[in-house]
Amino acid sequence: MKRRDFVNWVGLGLIASSLPVAIAACSSQTPSASGNWQTVGTSADLDKTGQLLAKNSPAGPVLIVGTSKAPNLTAVNPTCTHAGCTVGWEPSTKTFLCPCHGSKYGADGKVLKGPATEALKTYAAKIEGSSIVVKPS
């Protein structure tokens, strides 16, 4: 065997032997980088007013609407898509309202009235024990 062939053979062997480790490292990070449930508050806090704003949660800003007794919770990123103000929940009309320029969003985050043109980002939300957890939907 020539020296060049030997070096190529050893080099290929090193690459081939490290490939499974590299693949395992990448694949183990993929599920945790997206789709993990994040705790954003407690069900006791949500039940006080029927809404809970967690501006600095691990999932980012989240506004949860509902109670721990309701089967479905509504959770959105409350950052208005027009210019970044924080929207509030209006229980009487079941809409998210922006105090800055009057944009209105439905409970599903879709724009009902401008000037905003893009929907609010939504989250899947559920109760786990005494915690409220969300993940991007």
Task: Give the residues lining the site for ligand FES (CB under 6 A).
Answer: 80, 82-85, 98, 100-103, 115-116
Q: Locate tokens 């009235």: which residue?
A: 113
CB of 93 to ligand FES, least distance (A): 16
CB of 136 to ligand FES, least distance (A): 21
Instruction: Residue 132: name the closest of 46, 50, 71, 36 by CA.
Output: 46
Q: Which residue, 11 or 102, has its beta carbon nearer to ligand FES?
A: 102
User: What is the CA angle 135-136-137, rounded to 5?
Assistant: 110
Q: Which residue, 46 or 80, has its beta carbon nearer to ligand FES?
A: 80
CB of 31 to ligand FES, least distance (A): 34
Instruction: Residue 39: name the closest of 136, 135, 123, 108 by CA.
Output: 135
Q: Which residue, 46 or 116, has its beta carbon nearer to ligand FES?
A: 116
Would you call the peptide bond into 61 cis, given omega within 30 degrees of 0 as the criterion? no
Burial class, 103, CB count within 10 angstroms (exposed 0-12 / middle 13-18 / buried 19+): buried
Q: Which residue, 50 or 102, has its beta carbon nearer to ligand FES?
A: 102
Q: Which residue, 97 or 127, has its beta carbon nearer to ligand FES?
A: 97
CB of 81 to ligand FES, least distance (A): 8
CB of 112 to ligand FES, least distance (A): 12
Q: Which residues contact 2 (CB under 8 A, 6 or more apart)?
A: none
